Amino acid sequence: MRRKRVLLTTVTLAVTGALTAGVLVTMAPAASAGTTLRAAAAEKGRYFGAAVATGKLSNSTYTTILNREFNSVVAENEMKWDATEPQQGVFNYSGGDRLVSHARANGMSVRGHALLWHQQEPGWAQNMSGSALRSAMINHVTQVATHFKGQIYAWDVVNEAFADGGSGGRRDSNLQRTGNDWIEAAFRAARAADPGAKLCYNDYNTDGVNAKSTGIYNMVRDFKSRGVPIDCVGFQSHLGTTLASDYQANLQRFADLGVDVQITELDVMTGGNQANIFGAVTRACMNVSRCTGITVWGVRDCDSWRGSDNALLFDCNGNKKPAYDSVLNALNAGTGIPNPTTTPPNPTTTPPNPTTPPPGGAGCSATVSANSWTGGFVATVKVTAGSGGTRGWSVSVTLPGGTSVTGTWSATASGSSGTVRFANVDYNGQLAAGQVTEFGFQGNGTAPTQTPTCTAS
């Protein structure tokens, strides 16, 4: 299978004084520690995801790890331009649809990757230029984002559009040659096609404050000042044997612009520092309140595009590596997201965790919030355990007339209209006193506004 290839750079500074060769940084897990990556991340209002090749979903070792450990997926290749529009105006969504279906069945959100990238363009687009390419480009964004509307948590709208080196400028490509406003045009088209999805710019070699990351920073600042719809920035983080000392500071400066930040393609070269670097990246994300999730680029070492680098958290037999423990401990020791700015629009996602409301007495309480658009909505329901905790819970939501539920995540639904009963799934039913969990659902029609009824067992 074709693999994404990007330039690896080894940055020069280690993370804190503790990151010396052979020293494994460990952190004690919290009292209510998650025992899987997905559970630990969800408890802190974040996702922990993996890049997936749908051809490997028939491999039981692969899918066992994927379904147990990850609550977000991204397609390695199945949603790129050459896969989704192999001939101009002829679209093929089979690979992307299969991934979304798997995500729905296993309580996962989906990151869309990528609407526009100068590589992996279909041959017909490679041979176009100027206004013809601009028109085809916008049509592609519109058609693909429309097809997956309501199913994608965040899109990498544009991928790798900035040049390496010290200029901080744009990469020369046929897309860039359609006009310097092509990125803005792509983001506006994506917003029109799917108003609920988060829209991200994604790139590599941006792990610290450098010319390239600063060029992207300046673009994002300009977009925010002019109202161009950009919600998040992805940092690929294909790492070597050290990590930039200003990695967290770099994430924070982007977050301070008013966008979410996400680690989108994390992998780390094997060696004495692998576990330390994985842990340090995770801690950096947890320390930035607008860092909403981490995605590793593959499931096992033998699934990685980096070959003998053995750059992931599981070996080829599915065994957890020391880096796994480092990441899990960092997730469990981290701080939850206090006040997310928007509700993810994905019927398979676990949304970020807002401020915990007061415990709901001896049973449980529930509140609902929604992100609505014409004809549809995504609702997030927050469940808070009362003073006795829960071994399981159910929430009844009364829907307005003519409204129906079309998708649910982190809960099971009984019914689709009228009063719908949602019950916990296996990983979020047991809550300590005052502990909060969330589930969500998508619907057609008008979002519910009545306070849900919560029942605990």
Catalytic residues: 265
Q: What is the 3-state secondary structure (H, E, C) of the chain?
A: CCCCCCCCCCCCCCCCCCCCCCCCCCCCCCCCCCCCHHHHHHHCCCEEEEEECHHHCCCHHHHHHHHHHCCEEEECCCCCHHHHCCECCECCCHHHHHHHHHHHHCCCEEEEEEEEECCCCCHHHHCCCHHHHHHHHHHHHHHHHHHCCCCCCEEEEEECCECCCCCCCECCCCCHHHCCCHHHHHHHHHHHHCCCCEEEEEECCCCCCCHHHHHHHHHHHHHHHHCCCCCEEEECCEECCCCCCCHHHHHHHHHCCCCEEEEEEEEECCCCCHHHHHHHHHHHHHHCCCEEEEEECCCEHHHCCCHHHCCCCECCCCCECHHHHHHHHHHHHCCCCCCCCCCCCCCCCCCCCCCCCCCCCCCEEEEEEEEEECCEEEEEEEEEECCCCECCEEEEEECCCCCEEEEEECCEEECCCCEEEEECCCCCCCECCCCEEEEEEEEECCCCCCCCEEEEC
**C-alpha neighbours within 13 Å on the C-beta side of residue 104:** 16
Q: Report CA-CA distances (Å) from 395 to 409, 414, 453.
A: 14, 10, 5
Is the distance from CB of 397 to CB of 405 less than 8 angstroms? Answer: no
Of 76, 234, 267, give the one whose Cα is nearest residue 161: 234
Handedness of CA 271, 276, 279, 281 (dihedral sign): negative
Of 85, 104, 99, 91, give the one whose Cα is nearest residue 54: 99
Burial bucket for residue 22 (CB in 10 Å: 0-12, 13-18, 19+): exposed
Phi, psi of 439 (to 5 degrees): -140, 175
Of 308, 49, 38, give the one whose Cα is nearest residue 153: 49
